[in-house]
Amino acid sequence: MNPLTLSWKNQKDRPLQMLLTLLLFGLGVGLISLLISLNTQLDEKFKNNLAGIDLVIGAKGSPLQMILSSMYHIDAPTGNISIKEVKPFLNPKHPLVKLAVPLSLGDSYKTFRIIGTTHEYVDSIFKESVATGKLWDRLYEVTIGANVASKTNLKIGDQFHSSHGFTDDGINTHDHGEGFKVVGILNKSNTVLDQLILTNTQSVWAVHDHEAEEKKAPADAPEGEHDHDHDHDHADHSDHDHGEHDHGEHDHAAHEGHDHDAHDHSKHDHAAAPVFKPLTAYPDKDITTLLVRYRNKKDWRALNMPRSINENTDLQAASPAIEMNRLYSMMGVGTDALRNLALIIVVVSGLSIFISLFSSLKDRKYELALMRVMGASRGYLFFLIILEGLLFAIMGYLLGLLLSHGGMALLSGYLEEAYQYEFSGWRFFKEEFWLLGGSLVIGFLAALIPAFQAYRTDISETLTTY
């Protein structure tokens, strides 16, 4: 019978005590491991998504909110800015700005955000490319992120209607006008790009213009077979019941065939070549934010740019790195508190290992003396008790990992919705290896005094007094 089997059987003999000790230890370890996992994964995702963006320019409001909404696509945007306000930055000859990528937010499909932007967002900012298909170029064409494809089952050629806002409540669906059409799927990049639906800025405008136009002149239906019911009250948008809307009558084929020239805006012309004017040609249109990369980060004029924008214009400029550091320091208080709580739990569970071993030793004193009589040395008994402490620690550690990674796997769905990233429950981190070391040290320390007691057992005295 080897000492490990003996330790195990000794513990198994008192299952309730063992369960309590293990649960306590497992909870402590689990909490720490969960924090490690969350922190590391969040940190990674945030870093990945910085993507070399030096400055975000948008509407005045909370700078953190602006960064979260346009870099990480978590929060709501702060508002819109008109193109004429940001025109100087869109000038390719701007002395400080190397790259300025516009983002237009506002719509979503099944909670995945639809972003109106330019190809530079994919090519230059994330340096990614399509896995299949191509990047959008015509109006209403979209290229979707890898996770969007896998979660919604959208394929190339599929069409869908977007919803207003970022929730999937089925109320605010833009189900008139053109559907978006998938023309490409991006490579998986482990960035926020995986969760986005990308199109050009004009498409985002067009969805809303189309709607606005229908609101303005509901009775003025275009000629042709475009015969779906326009009589319902578009102005009372939030109240009207789309459930009653008969989609069966929605003759899409006819719809697409109908003469858009009747609307009299050329960009609706699907047949036309996909040539868009630069955004600066639409000074009165809005975008949400502009992502800026400097020519030279160390240029003092570039460093002064955010301040001068904030002071002299109605725009707001914020540096993602600074805002994220601010966020970290705010969250840090919470994680520190949680981490300390976890440490306390672990220390208490170490204490419970100690008490468990110590009290069991009282009952087992005679057994230990007997084992000495049978040939066990003092060192063997010492080793045996230490082994029991380590065994508790290892089992508690494994239980903790199971709890944290299992919990993370369960949480990941919720987190993905909240943070727009995929979290994996089954990724392991090198910190968890250190955690194992820490657990073993605690198990060892907790067993030290009981083991020393076992070592010092006087056999003769024990055998005569018990």
Partner 1 sequence: MLRTQQLEYTYPGNKTITFPDIQCEKGSQWLLLGQSGTGKTTLLHLLGGIRKPQKGKVYVAGQELNNLSSTALDQFRGKNIGIVFQQSHFVQALTVGENLQLAQTLAGHSADSSRIKNLLDRLNIGDKINDRTNRLSQGEQQRVAIARALVNSPGLILADEPTSALDDENCKEVIDLLETQAKEEGATLVIVTHDSRLKAFFDHKIILQ
Kindly list the residues in this chain that would bind partner 1 in the complex (CB under 8 A).
1-2, 6, 9-10, 12-13, 363-364, 366-367, 370-380, 459-460, 463-464, 466
Q: Which of 173, 180, 177 is nearest to 200 (CA)?
A: 180
| Main-chain dihedrals φ then ψ at residue 388, nearest 5 degrees | -65, -40
Chain-centre distance for alpha carbon 254: 41
Residue 466: CB minimum distance to partner 1, A:
8
Taking the least distance from each CB to partner 1, the nearer of 200 and 360 is 360
* Cα dist from 89 to 123, 199, 352, whole Å: 19, 21, 64
Burial tier of 52 (Cβ tally within 10 Å: 0-12, 13-18, 19+): middle
In three-state secondary structure terms, 114 is: strand
* Residue 303 tokens, joined: 């460093």
Residue 465: CB minimum distance to partner 1, A:
11
CB-based contact 408:32 (threshold 8 Å): no
Residue 394: CB minimum distance to partner 1, A:
19
CB-based contact 242:170 (threshold 8 Å): yes
- Characterize 345-368 residue by residue with b for buried, 16 or more Cβ atoms within 10 angstroms of its Cβ, and e for exposed: bbeebbebbbebbeebbeebbeeb
Residue 378: CB minimum distance to partner 1, A:
6
Residue 339: CB minimum distance to partner 1, A:
37
CB-based contact 75:175 (threshold 8 Å): no
Taking the least distance from each CB to partner 1, the nearer of 225 and 363 is 363
| Main-chain dihedrals φ then ψ at residue 164, nearest 5 degrees | -80, 135
* Residue 23 tokens, joined: 């649960």
| Degrees to nearest 5, angle at CA 302 with 296 and 306 | 140
Taking the least distance from each CB to partner 1, the nearer of 1 and 235 is 1
Residue 380: CB minimum distance to partner 1, A:
8
Q: Are strands 315-318 and 55-59 parallel, antiparallel or unpaired?
A: antiparallel
Residue 27: CB minimum distance to partner 1, A:
26
Taking the least distance from each CB to partner 1, the nearer of 269 and 363 is 363
Taking the least distance from each CB to partner 1, the nearer of 15 and 243 is 15
Taking the least distance from each CB to partner 1, the nearer of 315 and 390 is 390
Taking the least distance from each CB to partner 1, the nearer of 91 and 465 is 465
Taking the least distance from each CB to partner 1, the nearer of 268 and 372 is 372
Residue 449: CB minimum distance to partner 1, A:
21
Residue 372: CB minimum distance to partner 1, A:
6
CB within 8 Å of 311: residues ≥ 6 apart: none
Taking the least distance from each CB to partner 1, the nearer of 13 and 261 is 13
| Residue spans of alpha helices (H) in 59-143 | 63-67, 83-90, 120
CB-based contact 151:109 (threshold 8 Å): no
Rg (CA), the chain: 32
Residue 442: CB minimum distance to partner 1, A:
24
* Residue 350 tokens, joined: 């170490």
Taking the least distance from each CB to partner 1, the nearer of 216 and 456 is 456
